[in-house]
């Protein structure tokens, strides 16, 4: 199979830069073409990637290369509403798409219109789009020409919830989900609340009715076939990258029989063949009333990687499953999972360009 040429519409954001960094080490990628609307020097803008031979091109020039058949796959790392304008032209040229934004995350475009307040310009494409959590939708991704990458919070939460949802063990009436992620999630356009002097030593809550609440509820329904109510609370933390999510669902008709060990066995079996999912199975060596840090996952261990680490516990007194999931919001939460999806779409090894361990 020939190597692929990759176009990145929206190359100047954190996700666009991360796509370039990861794709540089991909054995099946030949050319990487990120766009910039401004006249920017790639080496100066991304000095960590200087000397790699990548240069910014204008969006119109990338569109021309698409129409000339010189691009095999296009990543969209664009503001909401922009991907839907480009998608028909790109697909008509025979180019596959992975959209890292929200334009195609809902099969029913009315959800997009409700949440984002904009009319969807190509609703017919929503129905054929595959939601891009590789571990859960691999079969459909393999056959797809249009993949919608999930939001960083949603992929982190869904990977934590999927095994227990699959067994139908939890109540869907109210699922508390709390998340903190790094400041790169706020983008690279500064405002006072997100500059270093405001964030350092602080936790910054925001959007208490967050759009990812609807996205997560939608994916739970797609996965389980049942309606769910999610109580999602997001915040930014004083670090640049990483996402940690706590899901605390009530176990249905809980009893003393369920235990942390049983949850560990369930999750380990469910993800036994998934390279990028690591279930923390370290046994508890102290009593439940004593602190034991290393049985739970930590953001620092997935930083710069495509891994999702999951830790588990169970509150027997209250019948609550404690699911803690961590990812790097720029890798597994964005560029890394997008490349993993690309690998599936083209029949490459899923680990290509992504076999990095924590830094």
Q: Are 310 and 164 in contact (CB under 8 A)?
A: no
The span from the CA of 52 to the CA of 26, in Å, is 13
Burial 24-58 (b: 16+ CB within 10 A, else e): eebebbebbbbbbeeeeebeebbeebeeeebebbe
Whole-number pLDDT of residue 263 = 95
Mean pLDDT of 192-207: 86
Whole-number pLDDT of residue 2 = 84
Q: Return the active site residues.
A: 152
The span from the CA of 126 to the CA of 266, in Å, is 33
106-128 tens-digit pLDDT: 999 998 998 888 899 999 999 99
The span from the CA of 114 to the CA of 302, in Å, is 34
Which residues lie below 8 Å from residue 232, measured CB to CB, with a gap of 6+? 153, 177, 178, 179, 210, 212, 213, 216
Q: Are 218 and 111 in contact (CB under 8 A)?
A: yes
pLDDT band at 17; cut points 50, 70, 90: very high
pLDDT band at 36; cut points 50, 70, 90: very high
67-104 tens-digit pLDDT: 999 999 999 999 999 999 999 999 999 999 999 999 99
Q: What is the DSSP string of 16-43?
A: HHHHHHHHTT-TTEEEEEEB-SS---HH
Whole-number pLDDT of residue 301 = 97
Q: Domain spans of the chain?
A: 4-128, 153-329
- Which residue shows structure tokens 């920017």? 40
Mean confidence (pLDDT) of the chain: 94
98 vs 39, 86, 105, 164, 275, CA distance in Å? 25, 12, 11, 28, 21
266-292 tens-digit pLDDT: 999 999 999 999 999 999 998 878 899
In 3D space, the residue among 260, 318, 323, 309 whose CA is nearest the CA of residue 287 turns out to be 260
Whole-number pLDDT of residue 287 = 83
The span from the CA of 338 to the CA of 65, in Å, is 21
Q: 111 or 159: which carries more pLDDT confidence?
A: 159
Mean pLDDT of 344-353: 97
pLDDT band at 152; cut points 50, 70, 90: very high
Q: Which fold has domain 4-128?
A: Rossmann fold (3.40.50)
Q: 310 or 198: which carries more pLDDT confidence?
A: 310
Packing angle, helices 260-270 and 152-166, rounded to 10:
110
From the number of C-beta atoms within 10 Å of its C-beta (0-12, 13-18, 19+), residue 292 rates as: middle
Whole-number pLDDT of residue 184 = 86
Mean pLDDT of 213-235: 94
> Can you point out the beta strands (E) in the chain?
4-9, 29-34, 73-76, 96-99, 130-131, 146-148, 175-181, 204-205, 230-236, 243-247, 277-279, 308-315, 320-327
pLDDT band at 1; cut points 50, 70, 90: low
Whole-number pLDDT of residue 257 = 61
Whole-number pLDDT of residue 294 = 94
What is the CATH code of the structural domain delimited by 153-329? 3.30.360.10
- Looking at the predicted structure, is the pLDDT value of residue 255 above 60? no
């Amino acid at each position: 199979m020939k190597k692929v040429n990759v176009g990145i519409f929206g190359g100047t954001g954190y996700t666009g830069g991360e796509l370039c960094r990861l794709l540089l080490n991909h054995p099946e990628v030949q050319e990487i073409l990120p766009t910039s609307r401004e006249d920017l020097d790639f080496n100066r803008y991304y000095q960590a990637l200087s000397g790699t031979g990548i240069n910014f091109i204008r969006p119109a020039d990338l569109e021309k290369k698409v129409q000339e058949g010189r691009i095999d796959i296009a990543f969209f790392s664009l503001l909401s509403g922009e991907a839907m304008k480009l998608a028909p032209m790109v697909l008509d040229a025979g180019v596959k798409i992975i959209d890292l934004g929200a334009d195609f995350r809902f099969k029913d475009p009315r959800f997009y219109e409700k949440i984002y307040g904009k009319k969807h310009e190509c609703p017919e494409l929503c129905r054929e789009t595959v939601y891009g959590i590789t571990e859960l939708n691999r079969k459909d991704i393999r056959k797809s020409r249009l993949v919608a990458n999930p939001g960083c919070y949603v992929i982190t939460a869904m990977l934590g919830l999927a095994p227990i949802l699959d067994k139908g063990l939890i109540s869907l009436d109210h699922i508390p989900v709390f998340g903190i992620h790094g400041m790169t999630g706020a983008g690279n356009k500064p405002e006072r609340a997100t500059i270093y002097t405001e964030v350092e030593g602080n936790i910054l809550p925001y959007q208490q009715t967050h759009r990812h609440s609807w996205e997560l509820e939608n994916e739970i329904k797609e996965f389980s076939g049942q309606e769910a109510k999610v109580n999602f609370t997001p915040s930014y933390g004083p670090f640049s990258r990483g996402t940690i999510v706590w899901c605390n669902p009530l176990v249905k008709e809980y009893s003393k029989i369920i235990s942390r060990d049983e949850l560990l066995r369930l999750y380990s079996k469910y993800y036994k063949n998934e390279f990028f999912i690591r279930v923390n199975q370290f046994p508890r060596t102290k009593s439940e009333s004593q602190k034991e840090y290393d049985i739970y996952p930590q953001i620092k261990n997935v930083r710069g990687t495509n891994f999702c680490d999951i830790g588990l516990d169970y509150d027997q007194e209250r019948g609550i499953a404690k699911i803690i999931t961590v990812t790097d919001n720029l890798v597994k939460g964005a560029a890394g999972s997008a490349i993993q999806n690309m690998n599936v779409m083209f029949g490459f090894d899923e680990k290509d360009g992504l076999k990095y361990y924590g830094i």
